[in-house]
């Protein structure tokens, strides 16, 4: 994946829609991975350094809501934007509680989508910075007089946080 681009995971079971959005976003400097199932999205996020996810809700198999839960649990700094054709206020509240960055309805203007994705990316960068700072503070708290084994264990714990 190219380093100077925003790495976007686009999860939608409507293939044509996904391909067309993907093309529009690639032109505007995003690196897009298109996935059509929640289960596969979880796997892709484990294998690629994803910044932002654009997630459909209604999909066969694992729903968007479930996918959101797993993604946010496994990747604390990553941000998720919901894009759904079946949105309602309850679902929007629920997704926001679970940690979705924003909730958009199809059809969505490209400009609005771009704005949301860019803001989600900014948030992701901030999250990463905060997690790094927290790790650094935790590291400084480790006393060198502690047993080497305990120091190593604690360092490993700190390293795992926020991934
Ligand atoms: Mg769908």
Going from the Cα of 14 to the center of ligand 1, the distance in angstroms, rounded, reads 6
Helices and strands in the chain: count of H runs, count of E runs: 6, 5
Q: How far apart are CA 18 and CA 38, in angstroms?
A: 14
Radius of gyration of the chain (CA): 18
Distance 103 CA to ligand 1 centre (A): 14
pLDDT of 151 reads 87
Name which of 146, 11, 157, 16 is nearest 78 in CA terms. 11
**Cα–ligand 1 centroid distance for 36 (angstroms):** 9
pLDDT tens digits, 128-146: 999 999 988 988 888 777 7
Quick one: pLDDT band at residue 3, thresholds 50, 70, 90?
Answer: low
The CATH H-level (homologous superfamily) assignment of domain 6-127 is Response regulator (3.40.50.2300)
User: pLDDT higher for 145 or 112?
Assistant: 112
**CA–centroid distance, residue 71 to ligand 1 (Å):** 18
What's the predicted TM-score (pTM) here? 0.88
Tens of pLDDT, residue by residue over 117-126, are 999 999 999 9
Q: What tokens were used for 137?
A: 């503070």
118 Cα to the center of ligand 1, angstroms: 23
Comparison of pLDDT for 158 and 110, the residue scoring more: 110
Separation of CA 146 and ligand 1 centre (Å): 53
Surrounding residues of ion ligand 1, Cβ less than 5 A: 13, 56, 58
pLDDT in tens, 25-81: 999 999 999 999 999 999 999 999 999 999 999 999 999 999 999 999 999 999 999
pLDDT for res 87: 84
As given in the structure block, the two tokens for residue 142 are 């480790």
Rounded Cα distance between 161 and 163, Å, is 6
Q: Helix crossing, 110-141 with 148-160: angle to 10°? A: 170
Contact (Cβ atoms closer than 8 angstroms) between residue 109 and residue 55: no
| Alpha carbons 48 and 79: distance in angstroms, whole number | 14
């Amino acid at each position: 994946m190219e380093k100077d681009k925003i790495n976007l995971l686009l999860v939608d079971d409507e293939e044509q829609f996904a391909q067309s959005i993907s093309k529009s976003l690639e032109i505007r400097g995003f690196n897009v991975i298109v996935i059509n199932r929640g289960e596969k999205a979880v796997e892709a996020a484990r294998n690629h350094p994803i910044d932002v996810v654009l997630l459909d809700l209604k999909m066969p198999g694992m729903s968007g809501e479930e996918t959101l839960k797993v993604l946010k649990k496994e990747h604390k700094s990553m941000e998720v934007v919901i894009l759904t054709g079946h949105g309602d206020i309850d679902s929007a509240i629920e997704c926001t509680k679970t940690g979705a960055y924003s909730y958009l309805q199809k059809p969505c203007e490209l400009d609005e989508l771009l704005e949301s994705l860019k803001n989600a990316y900014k948030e992701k960068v901030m999250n990463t910075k905060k997690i790094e700072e927290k790790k650094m503070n935790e590291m400084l708290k480790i006393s060198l007089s502690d047993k080497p084994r305990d120091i190593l264990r604690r360092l490993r714990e700190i390293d795992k946080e926020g991934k």
